[in-house]
Structure 1
Amino acid sequence: MKKIYFKLVFTFCLLMCTFFYAQTPTNPNPPGGVGGGTPGAQASPIDMYVYVLGIVAMLLIVFFTKKYKSQKI
Protein backbone atom coordinates (compact mmCIF):
# COMPACT_ATOMS: atom_id res chain seq x y z
CA MET A 1 0.00 0.00 0.00
CA LYS A 2 2.81 2.42 0.83
CA LYS A 3 4.51 1.76 -2.51
CA ILE A 4 1.35 2.51 -4.44
CA TYR A 5 0.77 5.68 -2.41
CA PHE A 6 4.37 6.80 -2.97
CA LYS A 7 4.15 6.16 -6.71
CA LEU A 8 0.87 8.09 -6.97
CA VAL A 9 2.22 11.06 -5.01
CA PHE A 10 5.46 11.05 -7.02
CA THR A 11 3.57 10.93 -10.33
CA PHE A 12 1.22 13.71 -9.19
CA CYS A 13 4.14 15.94 -8.16
CA LEU A 14 6.00 15.24 -11.40
CA LEU A 15 2.97 16.14 -13.48
CA MET A 16 2.27 19.29 -11.47
CA CYS A 17 5.87 20.44 -11.92
CA THR A 18 5.49 20.15 -15.68
CA PHE A 19 2.22 22.11 -15.75
CA PHE A 20 2.93 24.87 -13.27
CA TYR A 21 5.80 27.29 -13.60
CA ALA A 22 6.88 30.07 -11.28
CA GLN A 23 7.57 32.38 -14.18
CA THR A 24 6.22 32.47 -17.71
CA PRO A 25 8.87 32.13 -20.38
CA THR A 26 9.73 35.37 -22.12
CA ASN A 27 9.94 35.76 -25.87
CA PRO A 28 13.54 36.74 -26.71
CA ASN A 29 12.50 38.31 -30.04
CA PRO A 30 9.08 39.93 -29.72
CA PRO A 31 7.28 40.83 -32.93
CA GLY A 32 8.06 44.24 -34.35
CA GLY A 33 11.84 43.96 -34.20
CA VAL A 34 12.25 45.31 -30.67
CA GLY A 35 15.11 43.76 -28.70
CA GLY A 36 14.41 41.29 -25.89
CA GLY A 37 16.35 42.36 -22.80
CA THR A 38 17.15 45.76 -21.46
CA PRO A 39 20.86 46.51 -21.31
CA GLY A 40 22.08 47.52 -17.89
CA ALA A 41 19.10 46.02 -16.09
CA GLN A 42 19.63 45.08 -12.47
CA ALA A 43 20.12 41.45 -11.62
CA SER A 44 17.83 39.92 -9.04
CA PRO A 45 19.04 40.74 -5.51
CA ILE A 46 19.75 37.12 -4.56
CA ASP A 47 22.35 36.88 -7.36
CA MET A 48 24.73 39.04 -5.33
CA TYR A 49 24.71 36.59 -2.41
CA VAL A 50 24.94 33.18 -4.11
CA TYR A 51 28.44 32.45 -2.81
CA VAL A 52 27.61 33.62 0.70
CA LEU A 53 24.45 31.50 0.75
CA GLY A 54 26.43 28.45 -0.42
CA ILE A 55 29.01 28.88 2.35
CA VAL A 56 26.31 29.38 4.98
CA ALA A 57 24.53 26.24 3.78
CA MET A 58 27.72 24.17 4.05
CA LEU A 59 28.42 25.53 7.54
CA LEU A 60 24.89 24.69 8.67
CA ILE A 61 25.19 21.16 7.28
CA VAL A 62 28.46 20.60 9.17
CA PHE A 63 27.07 22.14 12.37
CA PHE A 64 23.89 20.07 12.47
CA THR A 65 25.70 16.89 11.42
CA LYS A 66 28.11 17.23 14.34
CA LYS A 67 25.29 18.23 16.71
CA TYR A 68 23.16 15.18 15.95
CA LYS A 69 26.14 12.85 15.75
CA SER A 70 27.27 13.86 19.24
CA GLN A 71 23.77 13.23 20.68
CA LYS A 72 23.69 9.61 19.50
CA ILE A 73 25.15 7.16 21.99
Structure 2
Amino acid sequence: MKTINKLVSALLLFVISFAYAEKIPPTPGATAARAGTGGGGPGAPASSIDMYVYVLGIMAIGFIVYFTKKYKSVKA
Protein backbone atom coordinates (compact mmCIF):
# COMPACT_ATOMS: atom_id res chain seq x y z
CA MET A 1 0.00 0.00 0.00
CA LYS A 2 2.85 2.38 0.73
CA THR A 3 4.27 1.92 -2.77
CA ILE A 4 0.96 2.79 -4.39
CA ASN A 5 0.68 5.97 -2.30
CA LYS A 6 4.20 7.03 -3.31
CA LEU A 7 3.51 6.39 -7.00
CA VAL A 8 0.24 8.31 -6.92
CA SER A 9 1.90 11.21 -5.10
CA ALA A 10 4.76 11.32 -7.62
CA LEU A 11 2.33 11.22 -10.55
CA LEU A 12 0.21 13.97 -9.03
CA LEU A 13 3.27 16.16 -8.45
CA PHE A 14 4.41 15.55 -12.04
CA VAL A 15 1.02 16.51 -13.50
CA ILE A 16 0.67 19.62 -11.32
CA SER A 17 4.14 20.82 -12.28
CA PHE A 18 3.07 20.87 -15.93
CA ALA A 19 -0.20 22.56 -15.09
CA TYR A 20 1.60 25.48 -13.46
CA ALA A 21 4.42 25.77 -16.00
CA GLU A 22 5.18 29.36 -16.89
CA LYS A 23 4.68 30.44 -20.48
CA ILE A 24 7.21 32.91 -21.87
CA PRO A 25 5.44 36.01 -23.20
CA PRO A 26 6.50 37.25 -26.65
CA THR A 27 9.04 40.05 -26.76
CA PRO A 28 7.73 43.44 -27.94
CA GLY A 29 9.88 43.54 -31.09
CA ALA A 30 9.23 39.94 -32.10
CA THR A 31 6.38 40.68 -34.51
CA ALA A 32 8.32 43.44 -36.24
CA ALA A 33 11.35 41.16 -36.66
CA ARG A 34 9.19 38.46 -38.24
CA ALA A 35 7.55 40.92 -40.59
CA GLY A 36 10.94 41.97 -41.96
CA THR A 37 10.67 45.61 -40.90
CA GLY A 38 13.82 45.81 -38.85
CA GLY A 39 16.45 44.12 -36.74
CA GLY A 40 15.83 41.13 -34.55
CA GLY A 41 15.41 41.14 -30.82
CA PRO A 42 17.66 39.50 -28.26
CA GLY A 43 15.73 36.23 -28.51
CA ALA A 44 14.15 34.21 -25.74
CA PRO A 45 15.12 35.20 -22.22
CA ALA A 46 17.65 32.78 -20.75
CA SER A 47 17.09 31.16 -17.41
CA SER A 48 19.91 31.11 -14.88
CA ILE A 49 19.51 27.34 -14.46
CA ASP A 50 20.30 26.70 -18.15
CA MET A 51 24.04 26.80 -17.48
CA TYR A 52 23.84 24.05 -14.86
CA VAL A 53 21.55 21.46 -16.46
CA TYR A 54 24.35 18.94 -17.04
CA VAL A 55 25.79 19.44 -13.55
CA LEU A 56 22.35 19.00 -11.98
CA GLY A 57 21.77 15.83 -13.99
CA ILE A 58 25.09 14.34 -12.85
CA MET A 59 24.32 15.29 -9.25
CA ALA A 60 20.88 13.65 -9.49
CA ILE A 61 22.41 10.40 -10.74
CA GLY A 62 24.99 10.58 -7.94
CA PHE A 63 22.28 11.02 -5.31
CA ILE A 64 20.32 8.09 -6.74
CA VAL A 65 23.36 5.82 -6.59
CA TYR A 66 24.33 7.00 -3.08
CA PHE A 67 20.91 6.53 -1.53
CA THR A 68 20.33 3.23 -3.33
CA LYS A 69 23.56 1.80 -1.87
CA LYS A 70 22.78 3.29 1.54
CA TYR A 71 19.30 1.74 1.55
CA LYS A 72 20.61 -1.67 0.48
CA SER A 73 23.27 -1.67 3.20
CA VAL A 74 20.73 -0.75 5.90
CA LYS A 75 18.24 -3.36 4.72
CA ALA A 76 20.78 -6.22 4.60
Q: Distance in 2 between matches of 1:61 and 1:68?
A: 10
Higher helix share: 2
- Is 2:50 aligned against 1:47? yes
Greater RCO (CA < 8 Å, at least 6 residues apart): 2
Unaligned runs of 5+ in 2: 35-39
Is the alpha carbon distance of 1:27 and 1:44 closer, same or farther for their aligned partners in structure 2, counting shifts above 3 Å? closer
User: Percent identity between the aligned chains?
Assistant: 55
Count of residue pairs the alignment pairs up: 57
Alignment RMSD? 3.7
Report the equivalent of 1:59. Answer: 62
> Alpha-carbon deviations, 1:11-47, whole Å to 9, x = none?
xx6xx85xx433245358x7xx424783266511100
Structure 1 moving runs of 4+ over 6 Å:
none
- TM-score with structure 2 setting the length: 0.51
